[in-house]
Amino acid sequence: MDFSFDARTEELRGRLLAFMDEFVYPAEAVFAEQRASGIDPWSPPPVVQELKAAARERGLWNLFLPGENGAGLTNLQYAPLAEITGHSPHLAPPALNCAAPDTGNMEVLSEFGSDEQRKTWLEPLLAGEIRSAFAMTEPEVASSDAANIETRIERDGDEYVVNGRKWFTSGAMNPNCRIMIVMGKTDPSAERHRQQSMVLVPRDAPGVDVRRGMRVFGYDDGDHGGHAEVVFTDVRVPVANLVGEEGGGFAIAQARLGPGRIHHCMRAIGIAERAVELMCRRAASRVAFGKPIAAQGVVQEWIADSRVEIEQLRLLVLKTAWLMDTVGNRGAHTEIQSIKIATPLAVQRIVDRAIQTHGAAGVSQDTPLAELWAQVRTLRLADGPDEVHKRSLARRELKKYTV
Of residues 370-389, those binding its own copies (CB under 8 A): 370-371, 373-374, 377-378, 380-382, 385-389
Alpha carbons 57 and 64: distance in angstroms, whole number: 17
Got the DSSP string for 52-118? Answer: HHHHHHTT-SSTT--STTS----HHHHHHHHHHHTTSTTTHHHHTT--TTHHHHHHHHHHH--HHHI
∠ CA 92-97-101, nearest 5°, is 100
338 binds its own copies (CB under 8 A): yes
Task: Pick the stretch among 46-54, 119-127, 253-261, 330-338 that binds its own copies (CB under 8 A).
Answer: 330-338
Peptide bond into 101 cis (omega under 30): yes
Contact 175, 226 (CB under 8 A): no
Cβ proximity of 166 and 135 under 8 Å: yes
Q: Which of 38, 157, 158, 401 binds its own copies (CB under 8 A)?
A: 401
- Please identify, among the stretches 85-93, 242-250, 252-260, 278-286, the one whose residues bind its own copies according to the rule CB under 8 A: 278-286
Asked if residue 143 binds its own copies (CB under 8 A), the reply is: yes
Decide if residue 5 touches its own copies (CB under 8 A): yes
What is the rounded CA–CA span in Å between residue 41 and residue 247?
37
Site string for its own copies, 189-218 (x = CB under 8 A): -------------------------xxxxx
- Of the pair 68, 395, the CB lying nearest its own copies is at 395
The closest of 248, 258, 283, 288 to 354, measured between CA atoms, is 283
Stretch that binds its own copies, among 112-120, 136-144, 175-183, 261-269 (CB under 8 A): 136-144
Q: Are 203 and 266 in contact, with CB atoms under 8 Å apart? A: no
* 359 binds its own copies per the rule CB under 8 A: yes
Which residues 56-95 are close enough to bind its own copies by CB under 8 A?
A: 76
| Binding segment (CB under 8 A) for its own copies, from list 53-61, 107-115, 118-126, 368-376 | 368-376
Q: Does 37 bind its own copies (CB under 8 A)?
A: no
Q: How far apart are CA 240 and CA 155, in angstroms?
A: 11
Report residue 248: phi and psi, to 5°: -95, 5
Contact between 152 and its own copies per CB under 8 A:
no
| Residues 288-307 interacting with its own copies (rule: CB under 8 A) | 288-289, 293-294, 296-301, 303-305, 307
> CB of 18: closest distance to its own copies in angstroms?
19
**Residue number, 254 or 296, with CB nearest to its own copies:** 296
Closest by CA to 315, choosing from 340, 296, 339, is: 339
Site for its own copies, residues 160 to 189, rule: CB under 8 A = 167-168
CB 14 → its own copies: shortest distance, Å? 16
The answer to whether 188 touches 217, Cβ cutoff 8 Å, is no
Return the closest-CA partner of residue 134 out of 176, 102, 89. 102
Contact between 24 and its own copies per CB under 8 A? no
- Nearer CB in complex with its own copies: 54/374: 374
**CB–CB of 162/182 below 8 Å?**
yes
Which range of residues in 44-52, 59-67, 249-257, 332-340 is near its own copies by CB under 8 A? 332-340
